[in-house]
Structures are given as structure tokens and as C-alpha cells.
Chains A and B, each alone.
Chain A
Amino acid sequence: DSGVTQTPKHLITATGQRVTLRCSPRSGDLSVYWYQQSLDQGLQFLIQYYNGEERAKGNILERFSAQQFPDLHSELNLSSLELGDSALYFCASSVGGTGGLYEQFFGPGTRLTVL
């Protein structure tokens, strides 16, 4: 158990819908990352937050948005869903947000299926 929790574990929805994925980081971790893993792909970085502030954006679509709340949990909002959005979405957390200095701990992921 990494200490990072993600809900829900599975989500099945229809095209055009909107969903919210939730992540609670490990206690004490200030940085949260979201990654997307599509079929046969590596983990693609979406967005990073550090202590409530957006730190970096990766290949995140405009239909997607995220935030980190004062209690440090984070939510990833996906709207106008398309079939191609079906993927595993992982949240990771680390104590700090600096590269190479802090281990990232991953949650178990949310599997999103868009029908």
C-alpha cells in the first residue's frame, strides 16, 4: 500500500459525459501528479500541483482540468468524454516537487471506460 488513494477504482460512462477522479496523497506529501496510461502506452504526464498551486502541465487536453484543494487532495475533471479517453488514470504524490530528489508514490489508478 503506497498510501495514495484514488476513487473510484472503475468508472464506466458514455461519450459526452463528465467525470471526476479523486486522489488523496500520502500524509505529508505536498505534490500531486496525474498520469494517463492508454492501451500499450507508457504513463503520460498530465499535470502537477504543489501545495495547491499548479506547477506544470503536460499533454493535458483542454477538456480536462484539475485542482488541488487546501487539504491537498486533488481532483481530475474530464468532460465531453470521447472513446479515446478510455485509459488508466494514476495519481502520484511526493513530499516535494523537485525532480530527482523525491520519490513519487503511485495510487492504484482509476480505470475509465467510455462507451
Chain B
Amino acid sequence: DQQVKQNSPSLSVQEGRISILNCDYTNSMFDYFLWYKKYPAEGPTFLISISSIKDKNEDGRFTVFLNKSAKHLSLHIVPSQPGDSAVYFCAANRRGSTLGRLYFGRGTQLTVWP
């Protein structure tokens, strides 16, 4: 049962434009959300996170928005750069849970072209 869903397997964006990656979740117990970035032949690396007490978190060019009522979050990258081309995974868990495991979406392949 996929509790975190990324319905777009791929996204292509021109350099300098905004990239918007979407993620939906079904488990209302989730209250901590993360985005990971993965290059080929490497493991996922943490990018940005958001707690359910916030609806927005920014870190440089990356902003994550959380809509709890819709159980939806999105990652905005502005401006997009060719080096951002990677697979982006959305993940979630329950803060404070003794189970630290993450629930991952299937990922979205972002391609930023010049």
C-alpha cells in the first residue's frame, strides 16, 4: 500500500524556470515530510524537510509547501539549473515515533535543459 505517492514519473523544465514537484500522502498520522534527491549511482541525499506545524519551508532555491487538508506537498525549485537534474523522492514519517523508518514515493525524474 503506497502511502506516499508521486504521480508524475518525470518532469522536464527549461533552465531558469520554476520546477514544481508534487507529492500526496494518505496517512493522516504523518507529520514530518522530506525531499531527497538522487543522482545515478549514488544514494539519496537529504534536500529539505517540513513539519506539519508549518505550511512552508525555504532553503535557498528550494521551497517546500504543505497543504495538510489536501494531504499534499510540493517542492519548488527556482530558478532551475541543469545540475538539479536528478530523481526527487518525497518521504514521510511520524515525528517522535520510535520507528524512524521513512515512507517513500516512487520518485520524479527531473530534467533541466539549457
Which residues of A approach B to under 8 Å, CB–CB?
2, 4, 31, 33, 35, 40-45, 48, 55-56, 58, 90, 92, 94, 96-109
Total A-B residue pairs with C-beta atoms closer than 8 Å? 86
Interface residues of B in 59-106 (CB under 8 A from A): 89, 91, 93-106
A55 to B101, CA, bound (A): 10
The 9 closest A-B CB pairs, nearest first, are A100-B95, A106-B43, A100-B32, A99-B97, A42-B104, A99-B93, A42-B106, A43-B104, A45-B101
**Judging by beta carbons under 8 Å apart, are B101 and A33 in contact?**
yes
Given contacts A42-B107, A99-B100, A109-B42, list 12 more A-B pairs with CB under 8 A.
A33-B100, A40-B9, A40-B106, A42-B6, A48-B101, A92-B43, A96-B100, A97-B100, A98-B100, A99-B99, A104-B100, A106-B45
When C-beta atoms are compared, the residue in chain A nearest to B102 turns out to be: A104
Candidate in B41, B91, B100 with the most chain A CB atoms within 10 angstroms: B100
When distances are taken between beta carbons in the complex, the residues of chain A under 8 Å from B51 are: 100
Question: B15 within 8 Å of A by Cβ?
Answer: no
Given that A42-B104, A42-B105 are known contacts, is A90 also in contact with B43, CB under 8 Å in the complex?
yes
Q: How far is the CB of A30 from chain B (nearest CB, A)?
A: 11
- Decide: A56 near B106, CB < 8 A? Known: A100-B32, A101-B96, A109-B43: no
The answer to whether B43 and A4 have CB atoms under 8 Å apart is: yes
B42 x A108 contact (CB < 8 A): yes
Which residues on B sit within 8 Å (CB–CB) of A2?
43, 45
Question: In the complex where A4-B43, A40-B9, A109-B43 touch, is A101 in contact with B95 (Cβ < 8 A)?
Answer: yes
